Amino acid sequence: MSEAESGVKTHDTASTLVVVGSIALDTVSTPSAVDHKGLGGSATYFSASAGLLCRPQIIAVLGEDFDRSQLDFLSARGVDLSYVKTVHGKTFQWQGTYGEELGEATTLRTDLNVFADFEPQLDESQKECDFLFLANIIPQLQLKVVEQAHAKFVAADTMNLWINTENATLRKVLSKIDLLVLNEAEAQLLSGAKTIVDSAKAIQAMGPQTVVIKRGAYGAFMLHEREIFACPAYPTQNIVDPTGCGDTFAGGLMGTLARHGRVDDATLREGMVVGTALASFTIEGYSLDGLKAANIAKLRERYACLEALTRFGKFDM
């Protein structure tokens, strides 16, 4: 599909965006399907999302069993795959299941395979990248990457496992990044606070000036310096599989910052809404199917829907 057909404008931003994360083979069970097998991985969802907005570069590793033609849609979207290495062994595999509510996944199996020895190395140009996203990998690796890089803006994701088992290293990572994105339960676990504002402020005090808290069907919340922003979820009624929504959201957020080449409250808010809209495509299908169907024209429609969903007038009493 050409850019004109897809509604994607040419995006030759001067800003570079690098994501370090996983490309995986997922097996997912939901109430409507058992053991759906497909492409997955944090870097895959992130770059499929950000690739609509800028030209992200992935640093990841694949096993010899991986058919690289599965990533052709990413190349077509403008994603730079030249740093995705294939090494001896099998590709990272994840298996998870969702209950009736389609909330958090329960992990049934994680086969790290080639990901176990993943040692991301940035080349000289990547070290000087403008925007760097550390997807949810073990904090030791996140720390190694962030210590190599001199990026202008570094964001990271994390999870309850690392908060519980790698807290000291995670804290070191937090002291070196600009933005942390995590879900609400993780934010409470990390901060020990109860309300979302208190959680965000406590995490901000650990390092990142911007804290983004994902609330699933309730949207997303941001504390940036002293500004707070709340974005509702896109009201899709076609909920199939939430796998990858968080990475899709982060891709939309970071892709927006890279597209504009700046980080300020207004651009972060736009990025939160773009991320929310793009995540709504991901949830509408298994694997990358929903997000593959997204393009700029459809993103524009959902952005406008989120505008209509949240607008209200002045109080003039």
- Positions that interact with a copy of itself (CB under 8 A): 9, 11, 53, 100-101, 194-198, 215, 217-219, 227-232, 235-237, 239, 259, 266, 269-270, 272-274, 296, 299-300, 303-304, 307-313, 315, 317
Closest to 15 measured CA to CA, from 71, 68, 56, 65: 56
The residue type at 156: A
Q: Which is nearer to a copy of itself, 27 or 49 (CB)?
A: 49
Q: Which is nearer to a copy of itself, 124 or 313 (CB)?
A: 313
Six-digit token string for 34? 């058992």
Q: Which is nearer to a copy of itself, 9 or 150 (CB)?
A: 9
Task: Please give the sequence-ordered ranges of beta strands (E in DSSP) within the chain, or none if there are none.
Answer: 17-20, 24-30, 33-40, 57-63, 84-87, 93-97, 106-111, 131-134, 153-157, 179-183, 210-214, 220-224, 227-231
Q: Which is nearer to a copy of itself, 88 or 194 (CB)?
A: 194
Minimum distance from residue 260 beta carbon to a copy of itself (Å): 10
Q: Tell me the residue length of the chain.
A: 317
Minimum distance from residue 145 beta carbon to a copy of itself (Å): 29
Minimum distance from residue 72 beta carbon to a copy of itself (Å): 24
Q: Which is nearer to a copy of itself, 119 or 313 (CB)?
A: 313
Minimum distance from residue 302 beta carbon to a copy of itself (Å): 10
Minimum distance from residue 195 beta carbon to a copy of itself (Å): 6
C-alpha of 18 from chain center: 12
**229, exposed or middle or buried, with CB in 10 Å at 0-12, 13-18, 19+?**
middle
CA 20, 166, 249, 96 torsion: positive or negative? positive
Minimum distance from residue 11 beta carbon to a copy of itself (Å): 8
In the 3-class helix/strand/coil scheme, how is 156-193 assigned residue by residue? Answer: EECCHHHHHHCHHHHHHHHCCCCEEEEEHHHHHHHHCC
Minimum distance from residue 239 beta carbon to a copy of itself (Å): 7
Helix and strand element counts for the chain (H, E): 13, 13
DSSP 31: T
Q: Which is nearer to a copy of itself, 114 or 278 (CB)?
A: 278
